[in-house]
Every structure is written in C-alpha cells, then in structure tokens.
Amino acid sequence: MNRTPPLVWGLLSAGVLGVSFAGAILQHVDEIPPLMRASWRLQITVIMLAPFAIWQYRELESEKRSKLFEKRTILILFGSGIALAAHFGTWVTSLDHTSLAHSLLFVTSHPIIIVIGIAIFVRKPKRLEVYGALIGLVGASITLLDAKSDGEVTIYGDLLAFSGAITVVGYIIAGRVLREWMPVFLYAVPVTLLASLILIPISIFSGEETSALGWVDSELLGWFLLLAFLAGIVGHTGLNACLRWLQPLTISFAVTLEPIIGAFIGWLLFDGNIPQKWTWIGGFILISGIMMVIKGGELDGLDTSYE
C-alpha cells in the first residue's frame, strides 16, 4: 500500500496558502483601478508560467501538437479566455465594494453554480449535491444580513463576487474538455494571456486611466510579482503537483478553506476588518454546503490557476 509522503501535506498547505493570498493582496493594491489591476496580475502570471508551457510544448507528442491548432481547440481557448477575463474583472472589482471575506466566500461558490448547470443541461443532480447547493444558498443569504449593519459589506459587491463565480465556470468547463489531452500550462498560458488582453480595452473604455504595461515601472510591482508567485506558482503549481499523491477530492476540500484563510491574511497583514457575526455563521454554512456539493458530485480537479 502506497503511503502519502509527509512532505506532500506540506505542499498542499503551501498551495492553499498561496492561492489564499490573492484576494488580500489584490485588495491591498487598490491604488490601481480594478480592471487594469486584474490585467496586470494576469500579464505577470503569463510571464512566470510561460517557461513551464514552453517545456511542456517541447515534450508534447506530435499528434497532440497538431491538435493545439485545430479550430475546435482554438475556439474553446477563446471562450475560456473570455470567461476568465469576466471572472477576474468582476471579482477584482468586488474587492473594492465589499469585504474581503464576503468577496472570497461568494467567488469560491462556483461548485454550487456547476450543480445548477448540471441540473439544467446534463442530468438530475444527486441528493447530496441538491442538499449541498440549498444549504450553500441559505448560508450565502445569511451572510448578506451583515450588509445592513456593516458598511464594508454591500450587496452590490457581493453580487459582483458571485458573478465572478458564475463566469469562472466557463473556464473550468473548458479546462475539463481540453485537459483530457492538453498539459496544464499549455492550457493556462494562452487563456490567461487572452484574458489579460481582453481586460485592457474594457479598462480604457470604462475610464480607468492606467497604462496597460504600467506594472513595469510601478511602485507596486513587488506586490504584483509576489501575488503572481504565490497564487500562480506556489498555489497553482503546488496543488497540481499534489495530484500525484492525493485524491482530487482531498484537494478540492482543502481549497474550500480559502475564504477563511484569505480573510485571516487580510486581517493579520493588511489591517483588514474582522468579519461580522452573520458572515461567520453564514460563511460556515456556505462552506459546508460547498463541501457537500463537491463530495456528492465528486467535483474533482477544479483548476485553481485563476486565483
């Protein structure tokens, strides 16, 4: 019987911690308008992940190389890039309009969205999926009670974060289709690059007055580099490496802790506010519901590279 090496649990912890830093840092660098902030983060991630993609391309069999340039593959990649741009645009904007805890809770609720989609388009959901989705929605509703007493929490901001959860489903579905044969970085790099480029004209038309490549000489460059390294390299690469030893279900469960860890990071390192009473209660119920959905439908292999 193969035993999981003890260091793998450390790698899993580091991966979850890495992706959990994303929200706190993105909220901290709010001097940069949200859409361009999202584009900068994605641009730097592309640069960091590109060497891995080049290596995977060189190792790829000729048959799979040819599939990279097929019309179907390109269309799916474009659709995924559009979804990722919409995800980052709405989520990063939400960080300017609601609390960090609420933003993370709502943006990580995409398993519930997937269950709803499955019910409409694919099959009858399993009982545990249904119960989990209903419990999750109840928990989400309870967290909104803090919007009445805590000026930091707004329904508008929560809706933006929830929109981020809806739009990222397109990225996840596209990844499931292409990742059956396409290596992870060969999928992530072109999609991330496309998303970063899409956000630039949207940012300009929205009136954001920030250069598309302003991160090159920005005083905040260090934060963006740290963000891309922690979320993209430590988080994404670490979690994918864990798949060699751990079940995807285990990793999916671990990633549901991101709202709690992320909110703690924001409070500890960036003077963020402590979540209010209803956020704690509703957030616990929401996370429990998400875990039930993951367990019930075995929504494994959820790609975390968008963090």
* C-alpha distances out from residue 218 to 49, 215, 224, 236, Å: 21, 5, 10, 25
The pLDDT assigned to 2 comes to: 55
* Confidence band of 272 (pLDDT split at 50, 70, 90): confident
> What share of the chain has pLDDT > 70, as a percent?
94
The pLDDT assigned to 143 comes to: 93
305 lies in a domain? no
76 lies in a domain? yes
pLDDT over threshold 70, residue 300: no
In order, the DSSP letters of 68-130 are: HTSHHHHHHHHHHHHHHHHHHHHHHHHTTTS-HHHHHHHHT-HHHHHHHHHHHHT-PPPHHHH
306 lies in a domain? no
Q: Which of 20-34, 157-171, 245-259 has the lowest mean pLDDT?
A: 245-259
The pLDDT assigned to 59 comes to: 93
The pLDDT assigned to 150 comes to: 56
231 lies in a domain? yes
The pLDDT assigned to 1 comes to: 43
pLDDT over threshold 70, residue 134: yes
Identify the domain containing residue 284 by its residue range. Answer: 17-297
CA dihedral 213, 218, 223, 224 (to 10 degrees): 0
Mean pLDDT, the chain, as a whole number?
89
202 lies in a domain? yes
307 lies in a domain? no
The pLDDT assigned to 298 comes to: 62
4 lies in a domain? no
Give me the mean pLDDT over the 71-88 stretch: 96
The pLDDT assigned to 303 comes to: 46
| pLDDT tens per residue, range 140-198 | 999 999 886 557 899 999 999 999 999 988 888 888 888 889 988 899 899 999 999 99
Q: State the total domains in the chain.
A: 1
302 lies in a domain? no
If we measure between CA atoms, which residue out of 71, 54, 35 comes closest to residue 188? 54
